[in-house]
Amino acid sequence: MNLHEYQGKEILNSFGVRIQRGIVAQTPEEAVAAAKKLTEDTGTGWHVIKAQVHAGGRGKGGGVKLAKNLDEVKSIADQIIGMDLVTPQTSAEGKRVHQVLVAEDVYYPGDNEPEEYYMSVLLNRGTGRNMIMYSTEGGMDIETVAEETPHLIFHEEIDPATGLLPFQARKIAFNLGLSGGAFKEMTKFVYALYTAFEKSDSSLFEINPVLKTSDDKIMAVDAKVSLDDNALYRHKDYAAMRDVREENPVEVEAGEKGLNYVDLDGNVGCMVNGAGLAMATMDLIKQAGGEPANFLDVGGTADAERVEAAFQLILKDPAVKAILVNIFGGIVRCDRVAQGIVDAYKNMGTISVPIIVRLQGTNADIAKELIDSSGLDVQSAIEFQEAADKVQAVLA
């Protein structure tokens, strides 16, 4: 589950990671009140107004702006709230901004050399260990840094048996070219950041930029935090941070219906039971010259209701040119699934794209018979290859 910047910073702050202080606002009036409060608390005169959407690159898209007085806070907030923010990480339509973070300006006026670093914490799947990835090239798109100056990106792997060791935090501060007070501050920052990552059961932290101010404070100016969904049950307060407005509406609807659905870019919709078979089916579609339009695992009980819900989800995607149903009847008998498909089809009236159904397992032959004699525009198959050939034929 992805979080907004302001929520990620709340979590960081709760573990002692220094952050750029801010208050979230839903309206320009709230933004002004937030700015006044921040001035009282921190003495800041200038504020940054930051669009809160689940996408990076907001600065480039005009979603991060500096306000030098309360009038500017109001007019900038007014401009950003409600806009469709387009960034290098959004679609061309952009993302609607519902709220802004009003934050203290931490790039002091007259401070000519604020240093910006990049730091992330994530799992290295190759070694099965968490790692801290960091770079002197902060504030930039890290993919560009990786491409053009890969020697400026460093990695530090953490042994799960010992956790982050003090020498590792010092090594990071050293590689970032720090000394004196800033060096000490950075080791504390790294330590707190890693602790926050572990304790919050996160799967990704990306802090870009980490800022060093001219008075040697180290703080997180931005925060991208992804939590591990499978650990949310032990963080009820984090689970409540979910903002479904930021998620794909079809995926949210699927979740409510207990279907495991991931939207993809292709032209063949697939309905499968079991994640492994779903992956294999996506390979099959590719081999037949198509591209999967989605990943959809309907789970163990493929009854008429679930099948119909699944068809409806798949058909919301206008790119879908064919649907491949690939169900293994183990727990549920194939003839029951076939009946479910026939019932769902009849219930929905007409389905405008060809459907290929492959049922294998208990009573597969009865199921095929049921589909073939239904009089509906549905093709049946029992073998994998047969299904692939039929998909190929309808796409041709």
Positions annotated as catalytic residues are 118, 206
Using the CB atoms, write b or e for 53-79: b if 16+ within 10 Å. bbbbebeebebbbebeebebbbebbbe
User: Of these partners, ligand GDP, Mn ion, none, which one is at the site of residue 207 (CB under 5 to 8 Å by kind)?
Assistant: none
Report whether the peptide linkage leading into residue 209 is cis, meaning its omega lies within 30 degrees of zero. yes
Three-class SS state of 51: strand
Nearer to ligand GDP, 8 or 266 (CB): 8
Residues 226-245 that bind ligand GDP (CB under 6 A): none
Positions of E strands within 62-216: 64-67, 84-85, 95-96, 100-104, 115-124, 129-135, 153-158, 202-212
Those residues whose C-beta lies under 8 Å from the C-beta of residue 348, and which sit 6 or more positions away, are 308, 311, 312
Nearer to ligand GDP, 85 or 325 (CB): 85
User: Of these partners, Mn ion, ligand GDP, none, which one is at the site of residue 62 (CB under 5 to 8 Å by kind)?
Assistant: none
User: Of these partners, Mn ion, ligand GDP, none, which one is at the site of residue 102 (CB under 5 to 8 Å by kind)?
Assistant: none
Q: Which of 208, 281, 294, 360 binds Mn ion (CB under 5 A)?
A: 208
Three-class SS state of 368: helix
The residue range among 8-16, 48-56, 343-351, 372-380 that interacts with ligand GDP, by the rule CB under 6 A, is 48-56
Per DSSP, what are the bridge partners of residue 153?
135
Positions of E strands within the chain: 22-25, 47-51, 64-67, 84-85, 95-96, 100-104, 115-124, 129-135, 153-158, 202-212, 218-220, 224-227, 260-263, 268-272, 294-297, 322-329, 355-361, 378-381
- CB of residue 222 vs Mn ion: minimum separation in angstroms? 3
Q: Which of 86, 182, 221, 370 binds ligand GDP (CB under 6 A)?
A: 221
Q: Does residue number 95 form part of the binding site for ligand GDP (CB under 6 A)? A: no
Nearer to ligand GDP, 215 or 237 (CB): 215
Q: Does residue number 222 form part of the binding site for Mn ion (CB under 5 A)? A: yes
Nearer to ligand GDP, 102 or 364 (CB): 102
Q: Does residue number 64 form part of the binding site for ligand GDP (CB under 6 A)? A: yes
- Mapping DSSP onto H, E and C, the string for 177-196 reads CCCHHHHHHHHHHHHHHHHH
Q: Does residue number 10 form part of the binding site for Mn ion (CB under 5 A)? A: no
CA 24 to chain centre: 21
Q: Which of 45, 59, 94, 361 binds ligand GDP (CB under 6 A)?
A: 59
Nearer to ligand GDP, 105 or 303 (CB): 105
Q: C-alpha dihedral over 193, 194, 195, 197, to 10 degrees? A: 90
In angstroms, the Cα distances linking 157 to 100, 170, 231 are 35, 14, 22
Say how far apart CA 16 and CA 34 lie, in whole Å: 22
- CB of residue 46 vs Mn ion: minimum separation in angstroms? 19
Q: Which of 25, 48, 355, 371 binds ligand GDP (CB under 6 A)?
A: 48
Q: Does residue number 57 form part of the binding site for ligand GDP (CB under 6 A)? A: yes
Q: Does residue number 58 form part of the binding site for ligand GDP (CB under 6 A)? A: yes
Handedness of CA 105, 106, 112, 118 (dihedral sign): negative
Residues 4-33 that bind ligand GDP (CB under 6 A): 20
- CB of residue 240 vs ligand GDP: minimum separation in angstroms? 24
Q: Does residue number 106 form part of the binding site for ligand GDP (CB under 6 A)? A: yes
Residues 123-152 that bind ligand GDP (CB under 6 A): 139
- CB of residue 53 vs ligand GDP: minimum separation in angstroms? 9
Residues contributing to the site for ligand GDP (CB under 6 A): 20, 48, 50, 56-59, 64, 66, 103, 105-107, 139, 208-209, 221-222
